[in-house]
Amino acid sequence: MNEGDNIDNITGPLGNPSEIKKFGKVLCVGGSVMIAPLLLQSKTMRAAGNSVTTVIGARSKEFLMMENEGKALSDAFYVSTDDGSKGNKGLDFLCDLLKKEKFDRCVAMGPVVMMQTVSDITKPLGVPTVVTLTPIMIDGMGMCGVCRVTVGGKMQFGCVDGPEFDGHQVDFEGLIKRQRLMLPEERLSSELWEIGECKCGRSKA
């Protein structure tokens, strides 16, 4: 675009801003593609005067990203992989970390199962935990209900009430069940796409 051109259709920002202030000691945990926005939290939390410990994770080492950036933005930095190919295997090490060090807040972004695990670890230790729920959104204004989630026994919408929620109040089991509701159709769609790509002679990469 050129200077002076117009963008006619933009929606956002949606939802509520992150709560950034001086909490004390903050644990930031990010997984998969959500490592990128998680590091923004690490950066802003540290700029607000917090001591920040960052944990990034992925299925295996080849899926890890932004390690150098994470180290630079954090007072302490850890890596976790599901298969143990780099850093800690899984998130069980957080149990020992949280017992050795007192944290005043935890921020988790990533796959729902990962955020559930983090919340389950922090809850008995009384560490306030915020999770970012970013499900598929359609209208972004709370009308369609696609991004609904149960928090504290009440239905909430990721687009207008979130995207950040109290991880200890989220009904993760219900959320995971909803995520998997259309799994057969999603797999079929993926298979049909691959068949179509092969027939067209294009590379699936």
Given a cut of 90, is residue 140 above it in pLDDT?
no
19 located within any domain: no
Asked if 38 and 87 sit in the same domain, the reply is yes
The helix/strand/coil state of 166 is: strand
68 located within any domain: yes
For residue 105, give both structure tokens: 């807040």
Q: What type of residue sits at position 10?
A: I
What's the CATH code of the domain at 106? Answer: 3.40.50.80
Selected residue with higher pLDDT from 182 and 96: 96
pLDDT (0 to 100) of residue 201: 59
Please tell me the total count of domains within the chain.
2
Domain span at residue 107 reads 25-132
Asked if 94 and 147 sit in the same domain, the reply is no
User: What's the residue count for the chain?
Assistant: 205
Asked if 68 and 125 sit in the same domain, the reply is yes
- 68 exposed, middle or buried (CB, 10 Å; 0-12, 13-18, 19+)? exposed
pTM: 0.85
Asked if 36 and 107 sit in the same domain, the reply is yes
7 located within any domain: no
Asked if 141 and 127 sit in the same domain, the reply is no
5 located within any domain: no
Q: Is 4 left (phi over 0), alpha (psi -120 to 50) or beta?
A: left
Asked if 36 and 120 sit in the same domain, the reply is yes
4 located within any domain: no
pLDDT (0 to 100) of residue 173: 93
Asked if 99 and 141 sit in the same domain, the reply is no
The DSSP secondary-structure symbol of 41 reads H
Given a cut of 80, is residue 27 above it in pLDDT?
yes
pLDDT band (50, 70, 90) for residue 22: very high
Q: How far apart are CA 102 and CA 200, in angstroms?
A: 57
Asked if 121 and 189 sit in the same domain, the reply is no
Asked if 122 and 196 sit in the same domain, the reply is no
For residue 131, give both structure tokens: 């999770």
